[in-house]
Structure 1
Amino acid sequence: LDWDASEVNQLALQGDLYGGKIAQPSASDIAVSGGNMVGGWSHVFSATSEARLQLYYDRTHRDIPGTFAEGLDTYDVDFQHQSVLARRHDVVWGLGYRLINDRVGNSAVLAFLPSHVRRRWYTGFVQDEIALMPNRLHLTLGAKVEHNDYTGYEVQPSGRVSWTPDRGGALWAAVSRAVRAPSRIDRELFAPGQPPYFLEGGPSFRSEELLAYELGYRLQAQDRLRVSLATFYNRYDNLRSVEMVNPPAPSPIILANGLKGKSYGAELAADYRLTNAWRLRGGYTEMRVRTAAKPGSTDTTRASSDPDRQLSLRSSLDLGAQLKLDADARYVGEIKNQQVPAYGELDLRVAWQPVAALELSLVGQSLLHRRHAEFSAPASRHEIERGVYGRVEWHF
C-alpha cells in the first residue's frame, strides 16, 4: 500500500504471510510459517534535503522433527537523512536499532543454550560524497559504528574515489572494512543436547573481519549498451574454525576464530536494449577463495564452499497486448568440497496486465531439472525442485 499524503510526505505499508512444509529425504517434513510487515515514511524538506523512516517486524517459525524448533521475532527501526551542503558535499547519516526475541525447542540431537535469548543491535553511520571536481572527480568517505551484545562496538570505515573522464565512462576504486558479528550458532550451539558435548559454541568467539579492495570501470555506449568490469581482492581474518579442545584427541571440538583467508576475482556485467521492447542483461563472475589455519589452530576444514564461476543471462520482452515474457538462465560451477556438481537452470515468467492496477503471472522455476543441489554436503542438503506457481498483483 502506497499513499502520497502530500507533496512532501509519502507513506508505504507492505506485509506477507506464508506457511508450508519442506520435504526431507529421510525424515518427516520441516514445518515453516511466518509473516512480516514493513512500514515506511519519507519527507522532503527541500530540493537538497530529505528523510526516511522504516519500521519492520518479522515472525518466523520452523520445526525440524527430532532436531529443534524455533520461534524468532525480529523488530527493526531505521532512520536516514540526506542533505547537500555547500554544493560539494552530499551527506547521508542514519541510526538503527534491532531487537530479536529467539525461543528454541532443544532436542537430544542439539541445543542452543540458553534456549531463550533477547539480543540488541545499535547502529549509526555517516557518509559524505565530496565533489572535488563537479561531474568529474568524486571522493566518498564514510563509517558505520555498530554495538552488539556479543562483542560490543565495531567500527567499519570505507572510502571510494570515482573519476569520470568522459561522458560515457567512469573509473572507480574503493577500500572498506566490514565485520560479521557472532551469531547464536557461533557461541550458543551444543551437540548433542546434553553433556558430555561433542561440539560446543565458543564463548569467546569474535567477529569475523574483512578488508576489501575494489577497482572497476563502467562504460555506457550510446543509450542502449552499458558494460561494467569490477575486480576485487579481499582479506579475511578471525574466520570461523573448528578446534580440538584437547589435541590430538579428536573430541570434543569448539568453534573459534582460527582461520584467515583471501579471495580475488572479477565481475563482468552488460545491459543491452535491443529494441524498446526487448532488453538483455548478462553477467559473468570468476572468483577464487583461499583459507589457511592461523598459528596454533587445529582446524582442517579449509576448502572453499563457493563456486569458482557463475554465468547469467536475463531477457525481458514486451510482447504487446499487455503481455510480457521474462527468461532467466544461469550456470553455476561446481563446489568440490561439498560434492555439488555444476548445473544450469532456467526460470520463465509470463505476465498479463489487463488493466493498470492488475497483473496476472505464471512462473516456472528451475525448469531444466526435476531437482538439483546448490550447496551443503550430500547427507544434509535439501535439493531445489522444479516449481510452477501463479501470482496475482493488485495495485491501489
Structure 2
Amino acid sequence: ELYDTTLGHVGHSWEREEFDLDFKANKPIGDRHHLAFGLSARHVSLDVTEVATAPWRFTAFDASTGTFRDDVPILDYGSSPDSFTRYAGFVQDSIDLDDRTILSLGAKFEDSDLSGSSIQPGARLSYTLDDQNILWGAYSRAYRQASLVERYTKVSYGRLWNHPLVPNQWTTMDFVADPTLDDERMDAFELGWRNRLQENLLLELSLYHYDTKDAVFSGPPIYSTSDVCTKGAELTFDYNPSASWRLRGGYSYSRGKKDGAPQEDFPESMSNLSSHLSLRDDLIFSQSLYYTGERTIPSAYNPIPIDDYLRLDLGLVWRPDESLEIGFFGRDLLDPDHPENMYNDLDVEPGKVKRTFLLSITKKF
C-alpha cells in the first residue's frame, strides 16, 4: 500500500509505503477448547518533505540550533528514522469449563523497531446465571507506542518578539520531541452484568478500572509522562417497543487521577438517548439527545471552564428504492453554537461547535 499525504498550509508532506503480511486461524480442540491464533508482519518506509511557509518565512532565532534562520518549518521531522518493521502474533483459547462458564485466556506478542518487545496478556470469564442474566469479568494489558510526532518531530508553533535572551529579535517557540519516550502501558480491569428483562429489552452494566503507566501528555515546551488512573461505570439499554421503533441509551460516570491528583478535564457524567422510528417502510425518523457534564481544561494562561450542555440531532431518511437514499439531518439544534473542547495550553478560547444541517444523496449502481 502507498499513501501520499500533503499538509500544504504547514509545508509538510510525506509518502508512506507499507507492506503487510497477515495470517489468522481458529480450530476447535476436543469438546471444550476453541483455539484462535495468528501471525503478522509489517514494514513501513517514509519519505518526508518539509518547507517553511508563509507567514512564517522570516528570520528568527532557532533555539534548537542556536542560529538565525528564515527556513524553520512548522513540522520538522529532520533525519529521524525512515523505516520500521514490526512482527506480531497472538494466541487465545476459549474453554468451556461447564455448561454455564466460559474462560478465555490469551496473549499478544510484538517485536518492533520502535518499541522493542512486549507481551500483552488477557483473560475473560463469563458465567450464565440463567436464561436472562450473564456475569463477566476481564483483565487485559495493552501498550501504546509513542507516535513519530511525539518521539521525533519538532513543532515550531509560534514566534516570540524580544525574548529576554534574544532582545529585539524574533525567536521560535518550539515543541521539542523526546526520542526516549517509553511505551504507555495500561492494565484494564472490568466487571459486567447483562440482563434481558424481557424479549425486547436488554440492560447492561459495566464497571472498569484502568491503570496507565507512562502516559504521554503534550504541552509546550516539552512532552511529559505521568501515571493515570481512571475508574467508572456505564449503564446502557436497548429497547424495541414495537417492530418499527427502537430506543437505545445509556449513562456513564468516570473519575480520573494524574499522578494521584484528581483531574477535571473530562466530564464526570455523560448520557445519551437515541430513537429510530420507521414511519413507513421507506421512511425513517431518527432522534438523538446527548448530555455532557461540565469540566475544566488546564491552560498555561488560565483554566478554561466548559459548562455542561445538551445536544439534539434529528434526521429523516427516505429510501424510495434499494439503490437510492436521501437524508436530511440537523445537528446541535438546541444552540446556535456552544463550546465543547480546546487544545491544552495553546488556545485561550475554546472552539465552538455550530448548529449544522446536512443533505445527503446516496446512489448505488
State the TM-score, normalized to the length of structure 2: 0.78
Distance 1:212 1:159 in 2: 11
Residue 353 to residue 198, structure 1, CA distance change in 2 (3 Å): closer
Other-structure match for 1:385: 354
Q: CA deviation at 1:253?
A: 5.0
Residue 265 to residue 172, structure 1, CA distance change in 2 (3 Å): same
- Alignment root-mean-square deviation, CA: 3.0
Distance 1:331 1:269 in 2: 14
Distance 1:281 1:160 in 2: 26
Distance 2:79 2:334 in 1: 42
Residue 106 to residue 347, structure 1, CA distance change in 2 (3 Å): farther
1:81 lines up with 2:49 in the alignment = no
Contact 2:143/2:185 (CA < 8 Å) preserved in 1?
A: yes
Secondary structure at 1:216's aligned position in 2?
A: strand
> Over residues 288-331 of structure 1, what are the superposed CA-to-partner deviations in whole Å (9 max), with x where a residue is unaligned?
010118xxxxxxx9845322121111111111141011112111
Other-structure match for 1:183: 147
Other-structure match for 2:50: 105
Other-structure match for 2:56: none
Other-structure match for 2:280: 320
Which letter maps to 1:255? Y
Other-structure match for 2:231: 264
Q: CA deviation at 1:281?
A: 0.3
Which letter maps to 1:353? R
Which letter maps to 1:231? L
> Over residues 322-355 of structure 1, what are the superposed CA-to-partner deviations in whole Å (9 max), with x where a residue is unaligned?
1011112111122312423322212222111111
Which letter maps to 2:321? V
Contact 2:12/2:75 (CA < 8 Å) preserved in 1?
A: no
**Correspondence list, 1:48-197, <5 A:** 60-63=5-8, 65=9, 67-71=10-14, 73=16, 75=18, 77=20, 78-98=22-42, 99=44, 101=46, 103=48, 105=50, 107=52, 108=72, 110-114=74-78, 117-134=82-99, 136-192=100-156
Other-structure match for 1:219: 195
Distance 1:59 1:199 in 2: 25
> Over residues 43-76 of structure 1, what are the superposed CA-to-partner deviations in whole Å (9 max), with x where a residue is unaligned?
xxxxxxxxxxxxx77654434x3x4534464747
Distance 1:139 1:149 in 2: 34
Gaps of 5+ in 1: 1-55, 244-251, 294-300
Which letter maps to 1:176? S
Other-structure match for 2:212: 236
1:329 lines up with 2:274 in the alignment = no
Distance 2:173 2:111 in 1: 31
> Over residues 191-239 of structure 1, what are the superposed CA-to-partner deviations in whole Å (9 max), with x where a residue is unaligned?
4389987542112110011111101100012211000100011111112
Q: CA deviation at 1:122?
A: 3.2
Residue 59 to residue 329, structure 1, CA distance change in 2 (3 Å): farther
1:279 lines up with 2:246 in the alignment = yes
1:305 lines up with 2:265 in the alignment = yes
- The alignment of Structure 1 onto Structure 2 pairs a total of residues equal to 322
Greater relative CO (CA pairs within 8 A, separation 6+): 2
Other-structure match for 1:351: 317
Residue 152 to residue 81, structure 1, CA distance change in 2 (3 Å): same
Secondary structure at 1:383's aligned position in 2?
A: strand
Q: CA deviation at 1:83?
A: 3.0
Contact 1:147/1:153 (CA < 8 Å) preserved in 2?
A: yes
State the TM-score, normalized to the length of structure 1: 0.72
Contact 1:235/1:262 (CA < 8 Å) preserved in 2?
A: yes
Q: CA deviation at 1:363?
A: 2.1
Greater shift after overlay, 172-181 or 92-101?
92-101
Distance 1:283 1:100 in 2: 43
Distance 1:303 1:206 in 2: 23
Which letter maps to 2:140? S
Greater shift after overlay, 261-270 or 196-205?
196-205
Moved over 6 A (4+): 193-197
Other-structure match for 1:255: 223
Distance 1:370 1:104 in 2: 41
Residue 198 to residue 392, structure 1, CA distance change in 2 (3 Å): closer
Other-structure match for 1:207: 183
Greater shift after overlay, 324-333 or 161-170?
324-333
> Over residues 172-203 of structure 1, what are the superposed CA-to-partner deviations in whole Å (9 max), with x where a residue is unaligned?
01111111101022211324389987542112
Identity %: 29
Distance 1:389 1:318 in 2: 20
Over alpha carbons, which structure has the higher Rg?
2
